[in-house]
Amino acid sequence: MTEAIRTTCAYCGVGCGISATPTGPRSVTIKGDEAHPANGGRLCSKGTHLGETVGLTGRLLHPMIGNKRASWDKSLDLVAKKFRDTVDRFGPDSVAFYVSGQLLTEDYYVANKLMKGFIGTANIDTNSRLCMSSAVAGHNRAFGEDIVPASYDDLDVADLIVLVGSNTAWCHPIVYQRIQAARAERGTKLVVIDPRRTETCEGADLHLPVKPGTDVALMSGLLAWCDQEGVTDPAFIADHLNAPEGFWEHIRTGHDLWTTAKTCDIAPALLEQFFKLFAATARTVTLFSQGINQSIRGTDQVNAIINVHLATGRIGKPGAAPFSITGQPNAMGGREVGGLASTLAAHMDFAPENVERVGRFWAAPAMATKPGLKAVDLFRAINEGRIKALWVMATNPAVSLPDANRVREALEAVPFLVVSDIIADTDTSVHADVRLPAAGWGEKDGTVTNSDRTISRQRPFMALPGEAKPDWWIIKEVGRRMGWRNAFAYDRPADIWREHARLTAYQNDGARLLNLRAQATIGNEAYEAMEPFRWGGDKPFEDGRFSTPDGKARLVLAKQMDLQEPLQQWPMTLNTGRYRDQWHTMTRTGLSAKLARHREEPLVEIHPQDAGDLDICDGDLARVQTAQGNSIFRVAFSEGQRRGEIFTPIHWTDQISTGGRTGLLPRPLVDPHSGQPGFKLTPASIEKVATE
């Protein structure tokens, strides 16, 4: 009997522990890890069926230059030479990496070190930009650091949980199960704020179907209500918060119940019910995800939520916190090593002292001194001819970025494109000059950090297939071939982990920020045996001190977006999101026949009355048109859609199957603070497609 290996799920930011028992060279039995704090043995459908996705169908097994198989030596030499020549000729800002929350922390660390410390530019951004960068910006504005001030344990002791912009039942199913357990065992109340009536609402006490884009108005209205009803905490406000000039006048003007209800387009009685419940419940967790973050006002929306928690003193206490939940398995680990173009390692920004400190630690020859291009701007820079060499790691921007037709033009136009991935032909890699075969889930070895800051090991239980190599190995080999042999002399992931931990200790000087000092001298065996642990403590801000210069958190004057602007001449708005049983662009979940049964094709959901007005029937094919492009979907009537709004799923690609392509449709507009694209609100139209 083969021993079970304890590892972590490949998919979402819940970060469930998995017990994997190999049953053959490419087969495995999957169970939930009962000892893991995130899931206690539970798994959702995606995690349960991971075993169906470890076969070699579609795998990239050898390095490829063009369409010809090549040796690792030749391929790595070519990548190193092209990046070196491009930097020599056009400067460091002419090259870029676009990486992924699928990378392990060790992979992310090496990629960032190579780009920001040695190549000399911060043009390394990640698909996590599309996932949680508004939360990062909101945390930094409010707390002076990027830390999620909550954990899953808070869900077990809260009396009220408010889900904002989150179809938790489908997108973070184990968190949803935990919430439902709290409802059953403790009578915890659940409120869902979402324009759509999703499956999450079925287990809720209250659903507020707000007009899309009105979250700032809603949260400001809630704060005004708390202020008026004496629910704010004057002592906490005086001792622990700073407010910008005019903040309270702004909240107290135009945010009464009636005005807020009108702006949010919901019944005043329903809104009042929520406000009263919130006001009466000190132990409240407000959990939010993409409906808040993926907006051109994402950061203000995040801060509007945090404002309410700060002003009511609902932070730093059991069961009371704002809680941003991440989409990807290692979005948080990426934040820790500076995986965003706008950050340095260990959550630092590009302040000169931080640049100097990281540069000294790395003995970096060409330290980047300013933030690089964020995802949407990065691909725009390619279209403008400013980026000449691009390396895409473990992600599929040809499908996942907004205005995907322009992204595809960029991938075709960039003079040198490298893609490292597990899949041979993705919509992105078909444009590549060089394809490098990477290790996949079950082969990778390293760490990930989930939404509540719990660091867990991902452990391998299968041999690397063909000539596939771990991402950290591929990146460090390119670094060594570019001339930095000693700086990239890692033999194993534990070497990188120790260096990352040393850097966090070196920069922290004992402050509360991510500090892995105890991990800096961990031995190889101890790294192997590492148990899940949470950084930042169980209750950040318990002492009422924040990481701003004066120790006070900041209330932020959040601005409600202009709701007239998005529509202009378009009759509908398009919202996008996920299905329960698919993950991102389906490169892995698309391999599972059982998962495919849940939804066999992408559907455009529309309210039956809107469809009737347009002479569209349930099951018809319809073209969804935006200013960026169009795509054809099968129509599904849904009473859960608001009038005037349609919804499509993000997953389907040209390489996987036929069906609607959501990525072609959204606008490439971003939040000004975070650079996160606004996927949730695109002006659109829909018309029936005539069939024979």
Which residues contact ligand SF4 by CB under 6 A?
9, 11-12, 14-16, 39, 43-44, 46-47, 172-174
Task: Give min distance, CB of 187 to ligand SF4, in A.
Answer: 24
Task: State the first-to-last Cα distance of the chain, in angstroms, to the nearest integer.
Answer: 58
Distance CA 642, CA 210 (A): 9
Residue 427 and residue 366: Cα distance in Å, rounded? 34
Give whichever of 296 and 455 is closer to ligand SF4, judged by the CB atom.
455
- Residue with Cβ nearer ligand SF4 (26 or 31): 31
CB of 601 to ligand SF4, least distance (A): 22
Could you tell me the smallest distance in angstroms from the CB atom of residue 39 to ligand SF4? 6
DSSP 55-87: S-TTB--S-EETTEE--HHHHHHHHHHHHHHHH
Helix H segments across 322-451?
A: 331-336, 352-362, 375-383, 397-400, 404-413
State in angstroms the smallest separation of the CB of 46 from ligand SF4. 4
> Torsion angle of alpha carbons 78, 82, 85, 91, nearest 10°?
-150
What minimum distance in Å lies between the beta carbon of 535 and ligand SF4? Answer: 19
The Cα 569–Cα 230 span in angstroms is 44
Tokens of 469: 């190599």
Exposure on the CB side of residue 559, measured as CA atoms within 13 A: 8
List b or e across 481-503, with b for residues whose CB sees 16 or more CB atoms inside 10 angstroms: bbebeebbebebbbbbbbbbbbb
The smaller minimum CB distance to ligand SF4, of residues 45 and 228, is found at 45
Least CB distance to ligand SF4 at residue 43 (A)? 4
| 173 vs 663 by CB, closer to ligand SF4 | 173
Cβ nearer to ligand SF4, comparing 36 with 139: 36
Minimum CB distance to ligand SF4 smaller for 47 or for 372: 47
- Whole-number Å distance between alpha carbons of 339 and 249: 38
Calpha distance 112→126 (Å, rounded): 11
Sheet holding 533-534, edge to edge: 446-449, 454-458, 533-534
Reduced to 3 states, what is the DSSP secondary structure of residue 612? helix
Q: How far is the CB of 244 from ligand SF4 (least distance, A)?
A: 38
What is the distance between the alpha carbons of residues 616 and 685, in angstroms, rounded to a whole number?
Answer: 13
Which single residue brings its beta carbon nearest to ligand SF4?
47
- Residue 599 Cβ vs ligand SF4, minimum distance, rounded to whole Å: 16
Q: Which is nearer to ligand SF4, 130 or 304 (CB)?
A: 130
CA distances from 99 to 148, 327, 345 (A): 22, 15, 15
Min CB(12)–ligand SF4 separation in Å: 3
**Residue indicated by tokens 């945090």:** 306
**Residue 596 burial by Cβ neighbours in a 10 Å radius (0-12, 13-18, 19+):** middle
The three-class DSSP label of residue 684 is strand
Q: How many CB atoms lie within 10 A of CB 3?
A: 8
Dist. CA 44–CA 25, nearest whole Å? 25
Compare residues 303 and 589 and give the one whose CB is closer to ligand SF4: 589
Smallest gap, in angstroms, from Cβ of residue 175 to ligand SF4?
A: 7
Q: Which is nearer to ligand SF4, 190 or 635 (CB)?
A: 190
What is the number of other CB atoms lying within 10 angstroms of the CB of residue 254?
14
CB of 10 to ligand SF4, least distance (A): 7
What is the rounded distance in angstroms from the CA atom of residue 180 to the CA atom of residue 182?
Answer: 5
To which residue do tokens 């000892």 refer?
35
What's the closest the beta carbon of residue 456 comes to ligand SF4, in angstroms? Answer: 10
- Rounded least distance, CB 8 to ligand SF4, Å: 8
State residue 685 phi and psi, 5-degree precision: -135, 165
Nearer of residues 328 and 638 to ligand SF4, judged by Cβ: 328
152 versus 497: smaller Cβ distance to ligand SF4 = 152
C-alpha closest to that of 87 among 132, 124, 50, 118: 118
- Judged by CB, which is closer to ligand SF4: 281, or 454? 454
Shortest distance (Å) from residue 395 CB to ligand SF4: 18
Query: What is the DSSP annotation of 483-502?
Result: T-TTTT---SHHHHHHHHHH
Of residues 43 and 315, the one with the C-beta less far from ligand SF4: 43
With respect to ligand SF4, which residue has the nearer C-beta, 178 or 207? 178
